Structure 1
Amino acid sequence: MTQPWYNEQRVRTPGSVILTSWRAEREAARAQGPANSVPVSGITPGTEAYAWLTGHVGAGRAISERSAMSVSAVYACVSLIGGALASLTLETYQTEGDSRKKYRPPLWWLLNEQMHPTWSAPVGWEFGAQSLLLEGDLFMRIHRVSPYSPDVKWLEPMHPLCVDVIRASPERRAYLFSTPEGVIALDQDDVIHVPGPGFNGLRGLSQIRHVLRQPASIALAGGEQAETMIDQGLRPDLVLKSGDKLNSEQIDKLRGQWAERYSGAKNTTAPVVLPNGMDVKEISISPQDAQLLDNRKFSIEDIARIFGVPPFMIGQTDKTTSWGSGVEQMGIGFVKYTLQRHLVKIEQEFNRKLFKTARNFVEFNAATLERGDFKTRNDGYRVGLGRAGEPGWLTVNEVRRMENLPPVDGGDTLNTGATNAPEPNPPAAE
């Protein structure tokens, strides 16, 4: 699309203006010499370059997107939010005065069925949710029918690590996408960008590098500790006590025989035979004393807190929750306090990038997640339809539509609540 910040000189410049400017800045930085560069030998733990490459800040393990997703709690939270987002329908609306009505332009198919020839819509939404929850940004490239057309041909999800955001002017951002064909520069109007918390005007805050690093590192450490204990046959650390004095050769031989015979899960049932009146003393503490299980539970709750997911929704059900009973209350609370903050940002970003007008807009239909049981729905429909003395605000066909049933004749009349009962003080009969 033609952008207002393109002046005549920029239009006449061949190639991408943004990409040309970016390359010029990079070449100028390189020309300054090795003072601005970091040698490979200098990329060591604790340096800024090491933190940038690995996401490792301070003490602990370096956490990447792949290692974070190997933690069950992280995987469960990301899958839950991504799956919920993918299951919602992003409806398109038109305003008519003070009311609105649904309509289905070609854009509806892109948002709900197929974003791109290589991306179905649900998969694209799950990928976008994972990028937003772990890397701090959701990016989608808008493929338009032509550079001068507002019509959208495709929506292509892009991984945040393949995107570089720069300021093209004080009022506008530019996006550099690394693709197999090379670097592509796009204006902000041709990119869907939904940042997470900590947005600094260019990028959102990466959860992997910051809030998620320590809990995920603790969870990985707990898993490795449990795996090591199982691999060693759940045997504690032992000390062999002997009344006789042993030389170094005897000590090394005894240690080697013990490790060969009794170490590992395969030798857990082998009997222990001690020569020369030797004794065995356990010096390690039990998993309960080490609070291994408690630490793993705490890491699950901490990770769930970061993502805003109630622990019981990812299988942590050992504590009583303050939620109401029933799936309906769980779904309403999850949509209201966790999903809603993501849905609003996505809706507004699509509205301002695809429509640029208040007449047309998109909105997620979260009714499927808030859907109650059959009895609860019927009670709500009964109130909506109205009855004698109580006007209704739903018609029969509107209720049938919400239950995916065909309309019936005469079902579009709204109940006014009027009755044919006699007046309270009828006139006396003549």
Structure 2
Amino acid sequence: MNAAVDSGFIIQGGGDDAAIMEFFGGGQRAAGMTVTPETAMRLSAVWRCVTLIAGAMMCNPIGIYERLPGGSKKRLDDHEFTRFLTDEANDDTSGPEFIELQAMAMMLRGNGYAVIRQARNGVIHDLDYYHPARVTPYYSGKTKWYRIINLDGEVEYFDSSQILHFKGPGQTYDGLRALSTVEHHAQSIGVGLATRDYTAGQFERGLLTNDYFTFNGGISSDQRKDFKDYLRKRASGISNAHNPLLLENGAKWDRVTVTAKDAQLLELLAYSAVDVARVFGVPPHMIGETAGASNWGTGIEQQNLGFDRYSVAPHKIRVAKELSRKLFPIVGAKRSKLFVSFDDEHLMGADSKAISEYLRAALGGNQLPGWMSENDARRKTGLPPSDDPNADKIYSPMGHAPPGEPLVQPEKETGNAS
């Protein structure tokens, strides 16, 4: 009775049957398997998809930027909030780890949460990650609140301005949460888990399920029991896989001619991996399923770019915008000049040809106006600035000098061209 009373608030506030079941240790049944975010991560395809997207977000540089006139922006590496994103979100979690944890929560449960911890004077000093199972959003009137259960059992309540709520796509009918990927695709994940457990059971039991024994003279119920016990001891498990069986009373060992290939287990495993990759929007070759992929080259390269653009980018935007609106809230109708953003220029780093062509054009190659100085280019590639007095000037041909910049012309070449 006490348990029912204590859990009543959770049930009333949650409004999500799947979340309630998960809170009490339950989950959906699919293909004979219990599918929860934890059991789903036991499937290699789910593990790779989730860690791949979360890892891509963790490795993507993120920082605080200032809006400048003309639509440009300036990165503020010395801003006090930069340490939350690049160094440490709190005493136990680094900045990149914080982004990774939130991304994994979004992938599996659709929602990631963090508490914005403030001192008495209002100064933010920590961003504390909380497992989604310990957070319950609810409405009190028209205000959205969050109920948080700490590890020591202490319960805290926060309004929405004090909570970072990172949402995946869609939302539940009550608008409290985003949709859960695992909940909505439990069947696809359950098929993969069931197929994996079935094939693993073949090795565990030693004998295949299509093995059978016949006795010419028949056997009694006691003999049948003794024979089953004998099989378990002599033929069950990998360690007994090669032990010979001693058959008596005219016993004959036979096998139904249905192989793993005939049962299409291999095809089912491959299909399950591709189906899970489809759910998370990951190209199959990136999780090791290369059967239908093109050769390494332009096709794979374009898929990799598409992965970041169509699979990772939406999650990055959701995370950056939630950080921006909570760390730099809109006052009245005026938005802050500061915001959080990911820097995608690192994506060119793996393609030396692309980055060289980009920098050549940025420096004013082919006698066209440039938009980047030599030192700007050196910073992009991680090199120290040059001491050349012209290294901070932007090149422009005659008649195209940028406002406020001295005109820089190339020196005249002398001698024969080689």
TM-score range, shorter chain: 0.7 to 0.9
Take 2:228 and 2:410, find their aligned partners in 1: how far apart are those partners?
99
* One of 107, 114, 126 as aligned partner of 2:100: 126
- Equivalent residue pairs, number: 379
Q: Normalization by structure 1: what TM-score? A: 0.79
CA offset at residue 380 of structure 1? 2.0
Matched, 1:380 2:354: no
Q: Normalization by structure 2: what TM-score? A: 0.81
Query: SS in structure 2 opposite 1:177?
Result: strand
* One of 174, 185, 188 as aligned partner of 2:157: 185
Q: Unaligned 5+ residue runs, structure 2?
A: 330-334, 399-408, 413-418
CA offset at residue 393 of structure 1? 2.3
* One of 128, 151, 166 as aligned partner of 1:156: 128
Take 2:153 and 2:228, find their aligned partners in 1: how far apart are those partners?
60
AA of the residue aligned to 2:44: S
Take 1:276 and 1:262, find their aligned partners in 2: how far apart are those partners?
19
**2:81 corresponding residue in structure 1:** 107
Take 2:18 and 2:324, find their aligned partners in 1: how far apart are those partners?
42
CA offset at residue 391 of structure 1? 1.9
CA offset at residue 390 of structure 1? 2.0
The answer to whether the Cα contact below 8 Å between 2:30 and 2:191 also exists between their aligned partners in 1 is: no
Take 1:118 and 1:420, find their aligned partners in 2: how far apart are those partners?
54
Take 2:309 and 2:295, find their aligned partners in 1: how far apart are those partners?
15
Take 1:400 and 1:366, find their aligned partners in 2: how far apart are those partners?
17
Task: Report the CA distance shift for 1:116/1:420 in structure 2 as closer, same or farther (over 3 A).
Answer: closer
Q: Unaligned 5+ residue runs, structure 1?
A: 1-25, 31-35, 38-45, 423-430
Instruction: Please say which of residues 180-189 and 250-259 is displaced more in the overlay.
Output: 250-259
The answer to whether the Cα contact below 8 Å between 2:234 and 2:245 also exists between their aligned partners in 1 is: no
Take 1:202 and 1:48, find their aligned partners in 2: how far apart are those partners?
12
AA of the residue aligned to 2:377: V
Query: SS in structure 2 opposite 1:377?
Result: helix
The answer to whether the Cα contact below 8 Å between 2:37 and 2:108 also exists between their aligned partners in 1 is: yes
**1:77 corresponding residue in structure 2:** 49
Take 1:265 and 1:58, find their aligned partners in 2: how far apart are those partners?
29
**2:371 corresponding residue in structure 1:** 393
Matched, 1:301 2:281: no
Query: SS in structure 2 opposite 1:193?
Result: strand
Task: Report the CA distance shift for 1:358/1:236 in structure 2 as closer, same or farther (over 3 A).
Answer: same
Task: Report the CA distance shift for 1:252/1:159 in structure 2 as closer, same or farther (over 3 A).
Answer: closer
Show CA shifts across 1:309-361 (max 9, x none): 11111111121249962876454222201111111111111111111224111
Take 1:48 and 1:65, find their aligned partners in 2: how far apart are those partners?
11
The structure that has the greater radius of gyration is 1
Take 1:128 and 1:202, find their aligned partners in 2: how far apart are those partners?
17
CA offset at residue 386 of structure 1? 2.0
Matched, 1:91 2:63: yes
CA offset at residue 374 of structure 1? 2.2
CA offset at residue 268 of structure 1? 2.7
Task: Report the CA distance shift for 1:249/1:132 in structure 2 as closer, same or farther (over 3 A).
Answer: closer
The answer to whether the Cα contact below 8 Å between 2:282 and 2:307 also exists between their aligned partners in 1 is: yes
AA of the residue aligned to 1:340: A
Instruction: Please say which of residues 411-420 and 190-199 is displaced more in the overlay.
Output: 411-420
Question: What value does the CA root-mean-square deviation take over the aligned residues?
Answer: 3.1
Query: SS in structure 2 opposite 1:138?
Result: strand
Task: Report the CA distance shift for 1:397/1:290 in structure 2 as closer, same or farther (over 3 A).
Answer: same
Take 2:56 and 2:235, find their aligned partners in 1: how far apart are those partners?
49
Task: Report the CA distance shift for 1:284/1:253 in structure 2 as closer, same or farther (over 3 A).
Answer: farther
